[in-house]
Chains A and B, each alone.
Chain A
Amino acid sequence: MKGHIGVDSELGQGSTFWFTFEAHLSREVAQNAQAEALHFSTEPQFSESVPSVLVVDDNAVNRKVASEILRKAGCEVRIAQSGAECLAMLSREKKHFDLILMDIQMPDMDGVETTRRLREKFGKALPPIVAMTAYSMREDREKFLAKGLDDYISKPIKAQALINKVKEHLLPVDAVPPVGTLKGTLAQPGGAMLDLGILRQLSKYGGVELVQESLREFCEDSEVLLQEAQGAFCLHQPEIIRQKIHTLKGNAGTLGVNQVARLATAMEKRLKEGNYPALADDLNLLAQHFADFKENYIILLAKI
C-alpha cells in the first residue's frame, strides 16, 4: 500500500503515532459527497457579485460536486477536464475568473504542472489558484503550496468549506460574512483576533486612514512572509523560517492581530529550541489564523 509509519514525540508533551498509505477514493465516498452537495442549502451566499470560478478536474463526479455547490451558492462555474484544457481555455478566451479550483491528482498533466505553466504564461494576471487534494502525506501539501498554488482544500469537499474558501480569495467587499455570524469575543476590544484598543491608539496619531492602510499593508506583507516560511520549510531551512515568523510576530503584535501574534510567538520559541515535529501543522494553523483575520477584519474595524 506504499505506506510509511512513524512517531513524532516531544518529551513531556506527548507522542503522535502516524501511518499513511495510498488508496483510491471509493465510489461510496464520492456518492455521499454528491448527495451532500445536492442537499446543500440553496441560499445565495455572495452578497454583491457573481463570482466566476473555473473548476479543473479529470473526474466527472468531483466536477459535478464542486460545480453544484458553487452554482447553488451563487457562482458562475466553468469547467475544464484536464490541465491542457484549462491552459487552452485561459489562452483562448481571456475570460476573467475570480478563482481557479485545481485538482492536483490528474493524469497526463497534474495540478502542480498545470499551475507552473499558467504562471509561466500569465504571470501575475492569474486569479487565486486553490488546489483540491485528497488527504495525503504532509510533504505533498507543502510541496504544492511552495509550487505556486495559493491555497488548498481537502477532499472530500465539504460544501460550506468550499464556499468559505472562495469567499476568502475574493476581494474584501465580497468576503464580508453576514451580520451576526462572527463569534462574540472577536468583536470585543482586546479580543483574540484583533485588539481594537491598540488600533484606537494608532488612530489618534493618523486617523482611521492610517489604521486601514497599515492593516492592508500587514495583509500583503503577511501573505509573502507565510509563503516564504512555507518555502523555507520545503527546503529544510529552519533559520529562515524563524526569521519570517519573527517578522510576522512583530507586525501582528504592533497592530493587535493577537491570535496570529500569539501563535507566531510560540512558533518562534519552538524553532529556537530545535526539535519541532509539529512545525508543518503549526504553519498551516498560522495560515488559517491569518486567513480568518483577513476575512473578518474589515467588519471589526467599523467598531473603532
Chain B
Amino acid sequence: MSNKKVLIAEDSSVIQNIAKRVLEFQNYEIDSAKNGKEVLKKLEKTTYDVILMDINMPQMDGMECARQIRALGDAKKSQIPIIAITGNAQNYSLEDFKEAGINDYLPKPIDFDNLVTLIRQISPE
C-alpha cells in the first residue's frame, strides 16, 4: 500500500517546510506549490489524496483555486478533498468556504494536532 499524497499550497516557505515535515513524519508523501496557478499546473500531471491550501496566496488565491479545481473535467481530480489554511479567520465563514468547494479549514497559527487529525479524517479510506 503506497503512502497518501498531500499537496501543500502555501507561499511562506517557513510554513511549507514545517507542514511538510510534520506530515512526512505521519508517512504522507508531500508535494508543494506556492500559489493557485502552480496547484493547477501540478494537477495537470498528477493527482493527490488531499490538498492543503493557504487562502491568502499571490497570483491566484485559495478560494479561486478551489473553484477551478471543482470545475475540472477529470471526475477524480475535481473531487480531491481541500483543507484551507486561513490567516484572517474572520474574512470567510465555513459557508463561504463550502461554496467555493472547500471541505474544511484550519485557522492560523496552525495547531499541528488538529492538522494531523483533519488530514487523517478527510483523506479517503
Contact = CB atoms under 8 A, between A and B. Distances in A.
A201 B112 contact: yes
A247 to B, nearest CB: 5
Contacts of A169: none
Dominant secondary structure at the A interface: helix
A141 interface: no
Given A246-B87, A250-B87, A256-B109, A206 B22 contact: yes
B94 interface: no
A217 B111 CA distance: 19
B116 interface: yes
- Size class of the contact patch on chain B: 20 to 34
Contacts of B110: 254
A218 B12 CA distance: 10
A221 B21 CA distance: 18
A255 B18 CA distance: 9
- Size class of the contact patch on chain A: 20 to 34
A134 interface: no
Nearest to B87: A250
A253 interface: yes
A251 B22 contact: no
Interface string B16-51: 011001100110000000000000000000000000
A147 B125 CA distance: 56
Contact of B18 (A204, A214, A243, A247): A214
5 contacts: A201-B112, A205-B21, A206-B22, A221-B13, A250-B109
A243 B116 CA distance: 28
B36 to A, nearest CB: 16
A204 B15 contact: no
Contacts of A213: 17
Given A249-B87, A250-B12, A254-B15, A204 B108 contact: no
A61 interface: no
A30 interface: no
Contacts of A205: 21-22, 25-26, 112, 116
A50 B15 CA distance: 37
A210 interface: yes
A205 B27 CA distance: 11
Contacts of B113: 201
Interface string A24-56: 000000000000000000000000000000000
Nearest to B113: A201
A246 B25 CA distance: 28
